[in-house]
Amino acid sequence: MANKLLYPRFSPTRRIINMDGMWKFSFDYDDKGDTENWKDGLKDYCLIPVPASFNDFFTDKDSREYIGNVWYENEVFVPKELSGTDLDIRFGSATHDAIVYVNGVEITSHKGGFLPFNAHINDVVRYDSFNKVVVKINNELSLESLPCGQIISLSNGKKMAKPYFDFFNYAGIHRSVNLVSTPKESIVDFTVNHILNGNDATVEYIVETTGENEVYITVYDEDGHAVARSQGKKSAIVIKGAKLWNVLDAYLYKFIIQIKDKDLLIDEYQEEIGIRTVEVKGTRLYINNKPVYLKGYGKHEDSEVLGRGFNPAMMKRDFELMKWSGANSFRTSHYPYVEEVYQMADREGFVVIDETPAVGMWISTQNFLSASKGVKEKYFDNPIAHEKTKPYHMQVIRDYINRDKNHACVCIWSLFNEPDTTTESAVSYFEDIFELAHELDIQKRPRTFANVMVARAGVCTCSHLCDIISLNRYFGWYVNGGYELVDAKKGFMEEMADWSKMNKPVIMTEYGADTYAGEHKLPSVMWSEDYQIEYLNIQHEVFDSYDCVIGEQIWNFADFQTTEGIMRVNGNKKGVFTRNRQPKAAAYLLKERWESLPLDYKS
């Protein structure tokens, strides 16, 4: 059975053995891991925590910047009671590419660093004893990796990453590793769609199992009362007087799904489900048939020491700060985030624009900045994009929609970030990706991609495919910065006039100014906290002038790590909060604005 991406949960019929903790770890500088059979056990190693990026633990640059294969190893005891069940090993993610060995046998390989994968290990596991798990991970970038980039060689023989994107190429085992034991006949997938009729809601559902026994669903409200029941693998449940999932006012029902043979329970899985609809009409985004205005952030999974590793404490702090600032939404720029983030967004009522890792679709030997300016070769003119990247991108779309489809928080799919849409050669690629997302999503949620500044209205060859136009614009930063700020508004207004003619909703998915926390200057200069505020005031005037703008998500929630260079001061400093999650002055400006803008602003 191919797909067991369901989030790993304990139940009366399911067992989870969590493998997080200290793992053996080794860099493979000379590429000898394969010939020396490290799959059977690492020779020289240190211990390293999982989940985490490996990059920021060590005190030398070679470790931080390391490109190539790294190896991880751990042991797991598998009790006898699990024999007779289906046993899988499941990685929340491994960045970017991974090969997994159990007891020396290769059991799976996976391409891509931001989605879960699993493999069946029944045939190789030893019950009632310890089992060796070895993972070989590669963090190289190419034109056909997502995100895109390239690797160069230095004169000392070391490799170096040249990302075509503006975040550090963190790597390692970033999310939890679990052994998942399920019954031989089990629930493997579950999909819901919501229809509202008056005070009632109908939840259409499809349950996929590995057997023929009957499926039963019981729906519990938040007080633990059973409010509806259904039977069958494909049916609909009517919830009378349904309490809907609303923005910042979430309500989650618990769906308990069972496979039963008469009274015998065969498998059980539960999921919290928010009931809501999402729709675009004209220039508005409707949730539960009510127009909404989005306020919030483009984010990153990024923190000190851990890099891109999942940290529940950091996640909690981020949600508290977002709520404090009056935000109601964020974008998972520039890749699908850890599953716990969507669970929390469901619980808190945040609207999520869920993004794929399709970022850096520009060709450049420099970095993301030169990539998005004056490139000679256009990304989608290259056959590699169509022959190699697109099929892989389509697989990513399948996996991420499958993983995230049931989350109430996921209201918009962002299928690319800032691709080169200045050429006709992008169109067929985009058509196929947009079509696939539509076909796969039973809820038919709106699709978008974050449009780059050089692909203006009239130039962008792919914006007609979007249900919502998402714009990343830096008037007052990359153009017309500093004393020229007066001209920024004019240019921005003119461009928005063109976009508004498309009669589609527009979300500003990026705008921002690098700001060095603590830097103050009167009158302001670029990089000061004072300038970030002036810059934002201009942006807000533009957003308020155009009826079609139905959302604003500032770049970025917090300062984050990037590749070093003349454009970045130990990272991107466009954060409203510092990397340690403390406010810059602009946070108070946003809080005042966002707390005063009603959810139905512009309706």
Residue 136 is a binding residue for ligand CKU (CB under 6 A): no
Catalytic residue among 73, 418, 495, 534: 418
Is 510 among the residues known to form the active site?
yes
Q: Between 131 and 472, whose beta carbon lies closer to ligand CKU?
A: 472
C-beta of residue 70 within 8 angstroms of C-beta of residue 28: yes
Reading phi first (left if > 0) and then psi (alpha if -120 to 50, else beta), residue 463 is in: alpha
Task: For the CB of residue 298, give the shortest distance to ligand CKU in the complex, in Å.
Answer: 7
Task: For the CB of residue 590, give the shortest distance to ligand CKU in the complex, in Å.
Answer: 17
Residue whose structure tokens are 């260079």: 565
Alpha-helical (H) ranges within 257-329 are: 312-324
Return the structure tokens found at 531.
């300038």
Q: Between 48 and 361, whose beta carbon lies closer to ligand CKU?
A: 361
Is 418 among the residues known to form the active site?
yes
Q: Between 118 and 364, whose beta carbon lies closer to ligand CKU?
A: 364
Task: For the CB of residue 574, give the shortest distance to ligand CKU in the complex, in Å.
Answer: 5
Contacts for 106 with CB less than 8 Å, ≥ 6 apart: 39, 99, 100
* Alpha-carbon distances, residue 487 vs 479, 508, 538 (angstroms): 9, 19, 10
Angle of helix 425-440 relative to helix 390-404, nearest 10 degrees? 30
Task: For the CB of residue 147, give the shortest distance to ligand CKU in the complex, in Å.
Answer: 10
Q: Between 91 and 170, whose beta carbon lies closer to ligand CKU?
A: 170
Report the distance separating Cα 99 and Cα 255, nearest Å. 35
Task: For the CB of residue 323, give the shortest distance to ligand CKU in the complex, in Å.
Answer: 24
Q: Between 227 and 542, whose beta carbon lies closer to ligand CKU?
A: 542
Q: Between 194 and 334, whose beta carbon lies closer to ligand CKU?
A: 334
Q: Residue 496, SS3?
A: helix
Report the distance separating Cα 242 and Cα 230, nearest Å. 16
Task: For the CB of residue 166, give the shortest distance to ligand CKU in the complex, in Å.
Answer: 3
Q: Between 470 and 572, whose beta carbon lies closer to ligand CKU?
A: 572
Element (H, E) at 290: strand 290-291
Question: Identity (one letter) of the amino acid at 268?
Answer: E
The count of residues interacting with ligand CKU (CB under 6 A) is 9
Q: What is the DSSP letter of 313?
A: H
Return the structure tokens found at 550.
């139905």
Task: For the CB of residue 377, give the shortest distance to ligand CKU in the complex, in Å.
Answer: 18
Report the distance separating Cα 396 and Cα 413, nearest Å. 12
Residue 572 is a binding residue for ligand CKU (CB under 6 A): yes
Binding mask 482-511 for ligand CKU (x = CB under 6 A): ----------------------------x-
Report the distance separating Cα 412 and Cα 298, nearest Å. 14
Element (H, E) at 22: strand 21-27
Binding mask 56-95 for ligand CKU (x = CB under 6 A): ----------------------------------------
Q: Between 321 and 450, whose beta carbon lies closer to ligand CKU?
A: 450
Catalytic residue among 301, 510, 529, 552: 510
Report the distance separating Cα 576 and Cα 462, nearest Å. 31
C-beta of residue 201 within 8 angstroms of C-beta of residue 239: yes
C-beta of residue 79 within 8 angstroms of C-beta of residue 132: no
Burial class (CB in 10 A: 0-12, 13-18, 19+), 224: exposed
Binding mask 504-543 for ligand CKU (x = CB under 6 A): ------x---------------------------------
Query: Taking Cα atoms as reference points, which of 236, 181, 233 lies closest to residue 209?
Result: 233
Report the distance separating Cα 409 and Cα 482, nearest Å. 38
Q: Between 373 and 591, whose beta carbon lies closer to ligand CKU?
A: 373
Task: For the CB of residue 417, give the shortest distance to ligand CKU in the complex, in Å.
Answer: 7
Report the distance separating Cα 208 and Cα 191, nearest Å. 9
* Alpha-carbon distances, residue 519 vs 78, 162, 531 (angstroms): 55, 30, 10
Report the distance separating Cα 68 and Cα 29, nearest Å. 7
From candidates 150, 472, 515, 532, binder to ligand CKU by CB under 6 A: 472
Residues 410-469 that bind ligand CKU (CB under 6 A): 418
Task: For the CB of residue 334, give the shortest distance to ligand CKU in the complex, in Å.
Answer: 6
From candidates 25, 555, 577, 594, binder to ligand CKU by CB under 6 A: 555
Residue 166 is a binding residue for ligand CKU (CB under 6 A): yes
Binding mask 319-338 for ligand CKU (x = CB under 6 A): ---------------x----
Q: Which residues bind ligand CKU (CB under 6 A)?
A: 166, 334, 372, 418, 472, 510, 555, 572, 574
Residues with catalytic annotation?
418, 510
